[in-house]
Amino acid sequence: MHRILIIEDDPRVSALLRRGLEEEGFAVAHAPDGLQGREMALQNDYDALIVDVMLPALDGLTLCKHFRKARPRLPILMLTALGATDDKVSGLDAGADDYLVKPFEMRELVARIRALLRRYAERPEPGGALLTFNGLEMNLDTLTVRREGREIRLTPKEFKLLEYFLRNPNRVLTRAEIAENVWGIHFDTGTNFIDVYINYLRNKVDKGFAQKLIHTRPGMGFILKVE
């Protein structure tokens, strides 16, 4: 039985989540604020977290950043009333694996939690892997990236996006494919968060280098390629 921690200050929402998840066979715990949620998540062995953004004592974005350092393999679904692209980017950039806007369908939330659990179960532990492409180097043990010897600092989501490119060089990756394999979600054509992250990555990986590696294929997607 998978154990889920809900960090949510709204009693009505937390009760709805607990009831819906327990009906699907999950064991559920609840924390009403960020500080208690942080303590519970670090002291207990949960399989996934559901974290609200607007929390008393300690906000959800700060929590996500903390958990990503302390528990890098703990799946996090961020739950919030904020739905703009910038808000989604902020949540994902803080370390959340997925993002669901209130009001939500319980069936969709359960499906996303299960997808996150599958992704983490299938993901191998770091084991000395080194990914390289034309002077770009990613060390999966130390979680560092260098290009031609210069260190490139990436956020957790930028790192995962670049890892996917490095595992699939010289191949056009569609937005839907990136959303599914990097974020574990179905691509929402009404948002441009993937394009936003591609621009972030370009500014760090390609800026200052004569040879550009990340290219756009209009109407198709993106490709890591030497041109």
CA-based nearest residue to 84, from 179, 190, 199:
190
CA-based nearest residue to 162, from 200, 192, 115:
200
Most confident of 65-74, 93-102, 155-164: 155-164
For 25, the domain range is 3-122
Residues 32 and 9 sit within 8 Å (Cβ to Cβ) = yes
Residues 7, 110, single domain; the answer is yes
Residues 168, 213, single domain; the answer is yes
Residues 95, 199, single domain; the answer is no
Residues 101, 137, single domain; the answer is no
How many other CB atoms sit within 10 Å of the CB of residue 65? 16
Phi/psi of residue 208, each to 5°?
90, 0
Specify the pLDDT at position 192. Answer: 84
How many other CB atoms sit within 10 Å of the CB of residue 69? 9
Residues 184 and 116 sit within 8 Å (Cβ to Cβ) = yes
- Please report, for the domain that includes residue 151, its CATH number: 1.10.10.10
Specify the pLDDT at position 125. Answer: 53
Burial (0-12, 13-18, 19+ Cβ within 10 Å), 182: buried
The count of domains in the chain is 2
User: Is it the case that residue 18 has pLDDT exceeding 60?
Assistant: yes
User: Is it the case that residue 127 has pLDDT exceeding 60?
Assistant: no
Residues 144, 45, single domain; the answer is no
Which of 100, 122, 144 is where one domain is finished? 122
CA distances from 193 to 71, 178, 197, 225 (A): 25, 11, 6, 22
Residues 205, 102, single domain; the answer is no
Predicted TM-score (pTM) of this structure: 0.60
Supply 122's token pair: 């299938």
Mean of the pLDDT values across residues 70-87? Answer: 80
How many other CB atoms sit within 10 Å of the CB of residue 74? 20
Specify the pLDDT at position 95. Answer: 86
Residues 12, 112, single domain; the answer is yes
Which of 122, 140, 164 is where one domain is finished? 122
Length, in residues, of the chain:
227
Residues 8, 116, single domain; the answer is yes
- Please report, for the domain that includes residue 28, its CATH number: 3.40.50.2300
Which of 89, 122, 155 is where one domain is finished? 122
Name the band, by pLDDT with cuts 50, 70 and 90, for residue 82: confident
**Measured on CA atoms in the order 106, 111, 112, 114, is the torsion positive or negative?**
positive
Name the band, by pLDDT with cuts 50, 70 and 90, for residue 188: low
User: Is it the case that residue 198 has pLDDT exceeding 60?
Assistant: yes
Angle subtended at Cα 77 by Cα 71 and Cα 81, rounded to the nearest 5 degrees: 135
Terminal CA-to-CA distance of the chain, rounded, Å? 50
Residues 49, 89, single domain; the answer is yes
Residues 117, 147, single domain; the answer is no
Residue 85 vs residue 166, higher pLDDT: 166
Residues 170, 96, single domain; the answer is no
Phi/psi of residue 74, each to 5°?
-100, 115
Residues 220, 175, single domain; the answer is yes
Distance CA 71, CA 69 (A): 6
- Please give the single-letter amino acid code of residue 210: A
